[in-house]
Each structure stands twice: as C-alpha cells, then as structure tokens.
Structure 1
Amino acid sequence: MNPVPLQGTGTVLLPEQIARALGGNNPGAPIELLSALIAAAVIGTIMLTMTAFAGPWAKRKITAAFTDRIAVNRVGPFGLFIIVADAVRLLSKELIIPEGADRPAFDLAPVVMAGSALLGFAVIPMGSLFGINLQLADPETGLAYVFAVASIATLGLTMGGYASNNKYSLLGGLRAVAQNIAYEIPLVVTAASVVLFTGTLQMSQIVAQQQETLITIGGIAIPSWYAFVNPFAFVLFLAANLAEVGRNPFDTPEAPTEIVAGYQTEYSSVYFVLFYLGEFIHIFLGGAIIATLFLGGPSGPASGSIGFVWFTVKIWAVFLFTQWARSALPRVRIDQLIEIGWKGMLVLSFANLVLTAIIVGVVL
C-alpha cells in the first residue's frame, strides 16, 4: 500500500487508506463511513490488547520484580494465560447492584470511564507500520481535544461514587474531582509551554517539529525532543500525569487502606472490568500524550517504516514509570495532595510557561 498525501497534512490517515483500498480514489459516503469504523476498530483493538497485557499480567510481573516476589507463573508460559483466566473469572461473576443505587448513573459510569480514554487515541499520531499510518484524525485542535475527552473520566468516577449509595464510594468520587481539578490545570498549562515552541495544537505538527537535531555530542545526534529542550516541563508533566491516572503517590480516590477502594467499591463483574480497563487505558493515553509532546512521538531509528514500534516502546516506558511509582512512593494524604497541586504544581507550571514565553519571544 503506497500512501498518497492528503491535502494540507502531508500524510494519509488510516480511514483514508482503508477507503482507498476498498473503493479506489473516489470512494462513496458508505465506503468512507465503513472505513472510519474499521479504522476505529483497529486502533481500539490495539489499545485494548495492550491493556489486556498490562492489567492482569505486566502489572503483577513489574510489581513483583520491584518487591522481590515471583508473581504469576503457573497459567501458561510466563503466566501469560492469566489474562484469559482473569477475563473468564471476572466476567462470569454475578453483577451485584447495591440497594438504593442510582441505576442510570451506576450503569453509565464504567462506560464513561473506559470510553473517554479510547476517544483520546483518535488524534494521537502513532506512526506507521509497513506503510500503514496509524492515526484516525488530525484536527488543528488535536491537543485541546485530547485533554477535553480525557477529562470526561472524572465525570465517570464521580458518577460511580455518587450512584453506589456507599459513603466510601462517595468519598472516592469527591476525592477524584478535587484531585483532577488540582492537577489538570498544571497539566494543561505545562502542555501550553510546548505549544509556545510549536505554535500549533495539531498533534502531527508537534511531532514533526521534534525531528531535527538539537545538538551533536561525540558524534551522537541528540534529537530536538521537548524533553531535552525543556526538561523542567517534562518532569512537571510526568508528575501531574501520575495524579491524572491515579498512581502513587496520588492514588487517593481509591486508597484501599482509607476508603476500601473508593469510587469502585460496589462494582463487580463486567462493570468492575470496565473500570479496571479504563484505568489502564488512561495510563496508556497519558503515555501517548507524553510521547507526542516530549519524546518525538513515533520517531526513532528507521521510524519511517516501524514508527509505531518506537511509539509503543515509549508509552510502555511511561507505563513502567507509573508502576515504579506505585511500588516505590508512599501515598500522600488528601490534604497534602491538594496542597502539592495548588501551591506547588500550579505555581511551577505557570513559572515554566512564563519562562518559556520569554525564551521563545526573546531568544528564539
């Protein structure tokens, strides 16, 4: 398949490639609709497959390595079949609805949680794999869209906490709201510092502007990834992202030793699976945003044909970092979490934004 550039973008998006394969250069509206659905199913399947490996298997293996344990090793080679075993076990359990639950909100919360993260991948440039460009859409407001749909997850957590008719669940939902408000502002403000460098919200352009060489040291070319250009913003974004995905030291909405399991205490069977799925999809979405904004997206050696491989390596590296934080960092109290967010992260993110604006306006 030889991609033909789309006008104004320089590359062919996945739905366009599928449409041309099915209907030639002038596919009709039904073919375009079918192609869009197929492309969305492809991206969704890729991310759900990664999540299936991350949740039941990789999380346990990584945590066991950090804590000097063995983890799953009995079901299949390397314990990989635990993925199937857990899926069958959880989906076959009885779906228990607590007495006094608000059914519409109780039923919708897990879907909102998982769906909001999947929607975010619609505009992420994942690179190409043997000539196939794995990106669904590339709007000029791509970065704003990602933050908008990712923030919908907070609504799902709040709905689940409120609708469960459980005081611990309600506390978890309220904590999720407080945490996301406190840390989403620093997250967006730090991302805005990248926008100052690029001058665009379009995800593909943000990646494209990180392809040049920043400096060459001893014959080794250092790419102009914004993690190297502005490492302070990169560290800030990593820390705020931990709070957004609910990983230590910012896992207060769940906090098992304090509020049992928070917003998901009353959920079981397929609803619990959706909450669990949504949690890990959001971790990968956070990794995808970090890779796009700071790590050059799918760029790497021979990235023209296997860019998706490098993109996958980067988001799994972010996942490994979140699991390290989960094993190594103690949970902060809710009052400490809010203080860190409003008095620390917010101030630092605005300071970074002002400094970046000065650099861009005066130096560059």
Structure 2
Amino acid sequence: MTETPLPDTLSGLLGLGGFGIAGELLAGILASAIVGTFMLLNTALAGPWAKRKITAAFTDRISVNRIGPAGIGTIVVDAVRLLSKELIIPEDADRPAYDIAPLVLASSALLGFAVIPMGNGIQVADPEIGLAYVFAVASIASLGLVMAGYASNNKYSFLGGLRAVAQNLAYEIPLVLTGASVVIFAGSLRMSEIVAAQSGTLFSLGPISVPAWFAFVNPFAFALFFVANLAEVGRNPFDIPEAPTEIVAGYQTEYSSVYFVLFYLGEFIHIFLGGAIIATLFLGGPAGPVLPGIVWFTIKIWAVFFFTQWARSAVPRVRIDQLIQIGWKGMLVLSFANLVLTAVIVGVIA
C-alpha cells in the first residue's frame, strides 16, 4: 500500500505542516479521533442492537422492534438506561484498581486500531513492528481482567479473572505463532506490507480469479487463528471467564452503571479488533473489487462479528479443564507445526 497516512493527509488539508511538532501532534490526535469514532460507532451498532437481532434470528425469537425502524432506537435507550443507573461500589473493593480496570479493557483494544490499514489512506500509523504492536496492546486487556477480578473482593469475580488469565495465556501463544507464519510469507511485520503481499492472484478458474489472500494460501493457519481469536475475545465455546451458570458474570459481577458499559464496550471493541487483525492478516485487508477499501474492511470485520455471534448461539461451552487442554495440548502443538511447515515451504520456494 502506498497511501499517505491519515495524519499526513489531515495535516495537508488543514495546513498544519507549518506548525512543526505541534501540528504533527494535532494531526495525529485528529486522525486517532476519526478512527476511534468510526470503531465506536460500529461497536454501538453491534452491542445493543445487532447482537440481539442476530441471536434472535438464530434462536427463532423476536428481537428488539419497538423503538425506531427495526428497533434501532434501542441503542440510545440502552445507553441512557445503563449510564443513568446507580454506580454501586463494593464496600471492600480495592481502589483505584477497581476504577481503572474497565478503562484498561476498553482502551487496550482502541489502541490496536492505530496501525490497522482500513483502506484509502485510513491508517493512523504504519510502524515496522505493526503486528507486534497490535498483539502487545491487545494483551494489556488481560491486566484489566485480573484487576477487575481481584479488586472486586468477590470470589466469583476473582475466579473469573483467574480463568480469563489462564485462557489468554493458553491461546495467545498459538495466536502469535500463527501470526508469525503470516509474517514469514509476507517478509515483514509492517501491516501495510502484509496487505500488499496479498494483492496478487493465487490462481484463476476461467473468469474467476482467486486472490492471494493468506486465508487461501494457508487455510490451516487461518482456521487456527480464527479459533484462537474466539478464545481471546471470550466467545463460545470459550466464554468460561463469564460462565453465568458457574460464576455469575465472572470478573464483571460487581460492576454497574458506566463501569459495566465500559466492560461491555471493551468486549465488543476486542471482537472488532480481532476481526480487523484477521482481515489484515488473512483476508487482504481493505482489498476488494468496485467498492472503496473502507467498505470492504467494514464488511470483513462484520463478517467476523457475525461468526462470533453464530458461535455464541450454536456452539456449547466447554469445561475449564477442556479449554486449557485444547489450548496447551492442541492449539499450541498445531501452531508450532504450522510455523515450522510454513518456514520450510517458504525456504524451499525462496
């Protein structure tokens, strides 16, 4: 990709180039605000409304339909309802850890979008270690989950926090190793170069051309990454940290009002970040015919979101011991095998 980064584009449009570092800082803040607002709007649409509509369609029920066309006004109603509730803080909560945890969870995902190429020059930054940066900031969420579980002074919350850490450790290593296999193919950690490496054609069948997306080049790695991502974002069958039949609501049991909203927001932002990483690593990023790149990027991340909601409705939850065994004895071994095989294949071809 050769598009000019979004801060540089804004700097040129607004004439900020003559203000030196201050102009660059302002352009970066504006670019971050645009990307952040775009993703927050997607999250607002997904959480209170689309999630209910998709789940109702899968389970043959009637979903929200009273407020606005197709019930879309539920987004505003839910926001007002949740934010206006009383903020109840447990008497023996460990503050400020209790207060910081929801912010850590939500902000860690938003930081990841800074290096995601969304098409048409919509990318805040494009560092050489872009993929490593995304994995690093996304993993900060684990800290927020531990803080929430511990600081709530609730045994169910604490158990949920411990389960979340055990799960993230078990599946983040396969996630990173599978991402490393993509880096071997692309020859770079830079997100724009990973997208550019998928710009060719893998093969053609008459008038139909199959793009060289890494999902087609290495479907095994794509499947591994998809499953590991489900575990990272806590969707079935890997929603053990929030298992309502066992630990009430897990690490977020003692949170209400705006704090609960931040946890809910963080959960869905992480789902979309996972979708953005999958789209970038395996689905050609914003690439696609006819439509602008940002439209294709949005379609791809929503496709991942749709799949997570299908899993939530259709796939039964596994036990915590089964979850850990799948991660350490299954996913880890398969991800190492995929990494070695990819290195051998690329080495032979090169």
Q: TM-score, normalised by structure 2?
A: 0.99
Query: What does residue range 174-323 of structure 1 map to in structure 2 within 5 Å?
Result: 174-302=162-290, 306-323=292-309
Q: Of 6, 16, 38, which residue of structure 2 is paired with 1:46?
A: 38
1:274-319 superposed Cα distances (whole Å, 9 cap, x missing partner): 000000000000000000000000000035xx10000000000000
User: Counterpart in 2 of 1:351?
Assistant: 337
Amino acid at match of 2:244: P
2: CA distance, partners of 1:363 / 1:136: 34
Amino acid at match of 2:154: N
Q: Of 56, 59, 63, which residue of structure 1 is paired with 2:55?
A: 63
Amino acid at match of 1:177: V
Amino acid at match of 1:316: W
Shift of 1:134: 1.1
Shift of 1:31: 1.9
Amino acid at match of 1:119: L
Q: Secondary structure at the match of 2:202?
A: strand
Amino acid at match of 1:358: V
Q: Secondary structure at the match of 1:327?
A: helix
Kept in 1: contact 2:16–2:27 (CA 8 A): no
Amino acid at match of 2:132: A
2: CA distance, partners of 1:68 / 1:44: 34
**Structure 1 position 337 matched with structure 2 position 339:** no
2: CA distance, partners of 1:11 / 1:348: 36
**Structure 1 position 72 matched with structure 2 position 76:** no
Amino acid at match of 2:24: E
Shift of 1:324: 0.4
1: CA distance, partners of 2:210 / 2:100: 46
Kept in 2: contact 1:19–1:27 (CA 8 A): no
Aligned residues: 350
1:141-171 superposed Cα distances (whole Å, 9 cap, x missing partner): 0000000000000100110000000000000
User: Counterpart in 2 of 1:160?
Assistant: 148
% identity of equivalent residues: 75
2: CA distance, partners of 1:27 / 1:139: 23
Following TM superposition, the consecutive aligned residue runs of length 4 or more in structure 1 with deviations greater than 6 angstroms are: none
1: CA distance, partners of 2:2 / 2:17: 17
2: CA distance, partners of 1:170 / 1:263: 6
Shift of 1:35: 1.2
2: CA distance, partners of 1:34 / 1:186: 38
User: Counterpart in 2 of 1:5?
Assistant: none
**Structure 1 position 16 matched with structure 2 position 11:** no
User: Counterpart in 2 of 1:82?
Assistant: 74
Amino acid at match of 2:84: S
Shift of 1:26: 4.3
Q: Secondary structure at the match of 2:242?
A: coil
Amino acid at match of 2:300: K
Q: Secondary structure at the match of 1:11?
A: coil
User: Counterpart in 2 of 1:101?
Assistant: 93
Shift of 1:261: 0.2
Q: Secondary structure at the match of 1:253?
A: helix
1:232-263 superposed Cα distances (whole Å, 9 cap, x missing partner): 00000000000000000000000011100000
* Structure 1 stretches lacking a partner, 5+ long: 1-8
2: CA distance, partners of 1:28 / 1:195: 35
User: Counterpart in 1 of 2:349?
Assistant: 363
Q: Secondary structure at the match of 2:240?
A: coil
Shift of 1:24: 6.1
Q: TM-score, normalised by structure 1?
A: 0.95
Kept in 2: contact 1:161–1:170 (CA 8 A): yes
Kept in 1: contact 2:130–2:189 (CA 8 A): yes
Q: Secondary structure at the match of 2:114?
A: helix
Shift of 1:11: 2.4
Shift of 1:222: 0.5
2: CA distance, partners of 1:154 / 1:298: 29
Amino acid at match of 1:82: T
Q: Secondary structure at the match of 2:67?
A: coil
User: Counterpart in 2 of 1:328?
Assistant: 314
Q: CA RMSD in A?
A: 1.0
Amino acid at match of 2:66: R
Q: Secondary structure at the match of 1:323?
A: helix
Q: Secondary structure at the match of 1:162?
A: helix
2: CA distance, partners of 1:77 / 1:337: 41
Kept in 1: contact 2:17–2:23 (CA 8 A): no
Amino acid at match of 2:67: V
Q: Secondary structure at the match of 1:184?
A: helix
